[in-house]
Amino acid sequence: MPRYALKVEYHGGPFAGWQRQTAQPSVQATVEAALARLEADIPSIAAAGRTDAGVHATGQVAHCDLAKEWEPFRLMEALNWHLKPAPVAILAAARVAPDFHARFSASERRYTYRLIARRAPLTLGAGLAWRVLRPLDAEAMREAAEHLVGRHDFTTFRSTLCQSKSPLKTLDEIRIEDVEIPHGREYRFHLRARSFLHNQVRSIVGTLERAGAGAWSPADVKAALQARDRAACGPVAPPDGLCLTGVSYPEDPFG
């Protein structure tokens, strides 16, 4: 069966996450339903990241096996037709090798978290960012983030439900942008790693926000990491601001 990679964009608000779940809407089930309109008996598809409920994506990658040959552009167009009106879009499709796996072949994943500081509620950005009322100290957050970059035991920053066999992960980058916007400021947290633990990004952002608000010092963030204790973590940031922005492979399937 020919295998295809799909680059997927979605608004996570209506979904209980990427992974198919009983009696709850998921992105995976929505894409599989669209595939089923093209061919019967489509095997289950796999994705690079199992994003949680409410988390978005602009660069999710999934793969599927189809019974017949499809021209990638026609496959993309057909899927987008059948995905309507769900807030899910196929940005690109590509034929890949039979051993390509969206999850296990990935060499890097990139997430961006948007946090907006302003007094007024969000309207156009509602559901796409976390709002706090007061500006944050970006330099304090950057100093705190330096303690988290590299290979560490991230027990403090992973969910108690995490199924990963080890809490050891290498975080390659945390880059924090501080942008002035009308009536407030926006902070964009860009995180890059080969793989992440369950809730790791949201746990890190929620903890860094405490440093930016002055409630924690950068040294407190370092101590939380070294505690290797989930109870030492700061508040977990809400899912609204989190977006899976890209996945890299040794060879770009869409290049």
Active site residues: 52
Task: For residues 27 and 253, give the distance between their C-alpha atoms in angstroms, rounded to a whole number.
Answer: 21
Cβ partners under 8 Å of residue 16, min gap 6: 24, 25, 26, 53
Q: For residue 2, which amino acid is it? A: P
CA torsion angle 108 193 209 221 (round to 10)? 180
Contact residues for 22 (Cβ-Cβ < 8 A; gap 6+): none
Q: DSSP label at 45?
A: P
**What type of residue is 64?**
C
